[in-house]
């Protein structure tokens, strides 16, 4: 029977992972996007005292400006990273069973097709690899997809279209709202609109306090750096260097009376997905490449809408509602940085691109590490120690 109140075993007082504290620990989660919300909820449901701190509003950072595709098919660069993302997909399904899917979880599969012989051959090569690795993948023709799944698309009839039935999209801001609500119901405190300005350490170098932009200082036993694109700055507060890539992306929301597609998809040159009732989200790596030419987000959004109109003609005239350029939170080598930093006891990182896919699994694994000191094998190649102080 799925449990919908989010409360499970209470492990108050069992905080072996954050040192030999005798009272129940208090953990400050710095940044409340999908990663901070997932870690915070997993800690608070275990009875840990949590204070969720966000400089702005929870869920309104990159998490709200993401394509939000839950997948592992695009993560074949390294087997361990693929496996982590597969675990991320499973963690989403478990989360939806546990807290209810509400309006955040959309397990409708994903379509991908491309044009030109070289790109097609590459896509089909990846399909073979994924099938070898046991990943759910089907190849259809454009005509079949139009007939059975997406009648509004203009896909050439004979084009191979790959369907990933186990993939999904997530409404990131709604997921964060839900997790924060459950965490607060389980006893967490939420401080939004205040930034962490300083992290104080004791004589032994372990984390003791956080200082906030409203002038207050909180006593804590541990901090989780989940500050997304701001994570390097937060790491600097404990004298740590967390190198990050600069990789901006632009996402636009367009309005439509009737959302013409039922699932997320990668068409040639444009990615699109529903965003709930009456709007769609658009993204394109090709348009991201124009960000540094100085084009305004509004212009980039028009270009995205034009590309979408080639695939779904009725979107060509849809109004652009909002568009934003965000920085992807990517550690320098492209992989997540998750876990404790042993040289700063009580300091943990949860910093990752593909954070929508990975949020629930990172939240669960990092909470176990903080509460029980368990270092899960799934994270072995993604630990913060690979970036030395």
Residues of this chain that bind ligand FAD (CB under 6 A): 30-36, 53-56, 61-63, 65-69, 195-196, 226-230, 234, 249, 251, 283, 326, 328-329, 352-357
- In angstroms, what CA-CA distances link 78 with 85, 320, 382? 11, 37, 12
Q: For ligand FAD, give the closer residue by CB, 17 or 249.
A: 249
Minimum CB separation of residue 33 from ligand FAD in Å reads 2
Secondary element (H or E) of residue 232? helix 231-236
Going by C-alpha positions, the residue among 99, 62, 61, 48 that lies closest to residue 360 is 99
Q: For ligand FAD, give the closer residue by CB, 55 or 371.
A: 55
Q: For ligand FAD, give the closer residue by CB, 182 or 234.
A: 234
Whole-angstrom distance, CA of residue 346 vs CA of residue 26: 11
Minimum CB separation of residue 156 from ligand FAD in Å reads 25
What 71-79 contacts at long range (C-beta under 8 Å, 24+ apart), as own/partner pairs, is 71/110, 71/164, 71/167, 71/357, 72/135, 72/357, 73/110, 73/112, 73/126, 73/130, 73/135, 73/137, 73/164, 73/167, 75/354, 76/126, 76/129, 76/130, 76/133, 77/334, 78/335, 78/381, 79/133
Q: For ligand FAD, give the closer residue by CB, 15 or 32.
A: 32
Q: For ligand FAD, give the closer residue by CB, 230 or 260.
A: 230
Q: For ligand FAD, give the closer residue by CB, 186 or 226.
A: 226
Whole-angstrom distance, CA of residue 15 vs CA of residue 38: 18
Minimum CB separation of residue 200 from ligand FAD in Å reads 15
Q: For ligand FAD, give the closer residue by CB, 18 or 37.
A: 37
Minimum CB separation of residue 37 from ligand FAD in Å reads 7
Q: Which two tokens stand for residue 287?
A: 């348009």
Whole-angstrom distance, CA of residue 147 vs CA of residue 40: 44
Minimum CB separation of residue 338 from ligand FAD in Å reads 11
Minimum CB separation of residue 16 from ligand FAD in Å reads 26
**Residue of closest CB approach to ligand FAD:** 33
Say whether 355 sits in a helix, a strand or coil.
Answer: helix
> Phi-psi bin for 37: left (phi > 0), alpha (psi -120 to 50), beta?
alpha
Residues 6+ apart with CB under 8 A from 269: 284, 286, 307, 310
Minimum CB separation of residue 237 from ligand FAD in Å reads 8
């Amino acid at each position: 029977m799925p449990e919908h109140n989010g409360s499970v075993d209470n492990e108050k007082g069992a905080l072996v992972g954050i040192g030999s504290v005798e009272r129940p620990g208090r953990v400050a989660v710095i940044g409340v996007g999908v990663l901070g919300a997932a870690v915070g909820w997993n800690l608070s449901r275990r009875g840990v005292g949590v204070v969720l701190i966000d400089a702005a509003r929870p869920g309104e950072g990159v998490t709200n400006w993401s394509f939000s595709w839950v997948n592992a098919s695009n993560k074949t660069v390294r087997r361990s990273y693929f496996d982590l993302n597969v675990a991320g997909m499973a963690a989403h399904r478990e989360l939806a069973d546990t807290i209810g899917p509400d309006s955040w979880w959309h397990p409708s599969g994903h379509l991908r097709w491309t044009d030109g012989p070289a790109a097609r051959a590459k896509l089909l090569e990846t399909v073979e690899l994924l099938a070898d690795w046991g990943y759910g993948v089907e190849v259809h023709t454009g005509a079949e997809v139009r007939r059975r799944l997406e009648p509004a698309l203009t896909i050439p009839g004979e084009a191979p279209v790959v369907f990933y039935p186990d993939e999904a999209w997530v409404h990131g801001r709604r997921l964060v709202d839900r997790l924060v609500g459950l965490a607060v119901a389980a006893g967490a405190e939420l401080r939004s609109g205040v930034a962490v300005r300083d992290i104080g350490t004791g004589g032994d170098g372990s984390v003791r306090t956080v200082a906030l932009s409203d002038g207050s200082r909180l006593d804590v036993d541990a901090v989780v750096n989940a500050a997304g694109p701001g994570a390097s700055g937060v790491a600097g507060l404990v004298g740590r260097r967390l190198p990050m890539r600069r990789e901006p992306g632009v996402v636009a929301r367009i309005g439509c009376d009737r959302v013409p597609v039922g699932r997320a998809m990668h068409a040639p040159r444009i990615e699109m997905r529903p965003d709930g009732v009456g709007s769609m989200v658009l993204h394109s790596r090709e348009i991201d490449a124009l960000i540094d030419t100085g084009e305004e987000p509004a212009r980039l959004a028009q270009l995205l809408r034009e590309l979408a109109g080639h695939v779904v003609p009725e979107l060509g005239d849809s109004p652009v509602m909002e568009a934003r350029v965000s920085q992807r939170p990517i550690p320098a080598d492209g992989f997540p940085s998750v876990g404790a930093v042993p040289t700063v006891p009580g300091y943990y990182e949860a910093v990752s691109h593909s954070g929508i896919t990975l949020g629930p699994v990172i939240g669960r694994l990092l909470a176990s590490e903080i509460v029980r000191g368990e270092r899960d094998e799934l994270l072995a190649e993604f630990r913060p120690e690979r970036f030395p102080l």
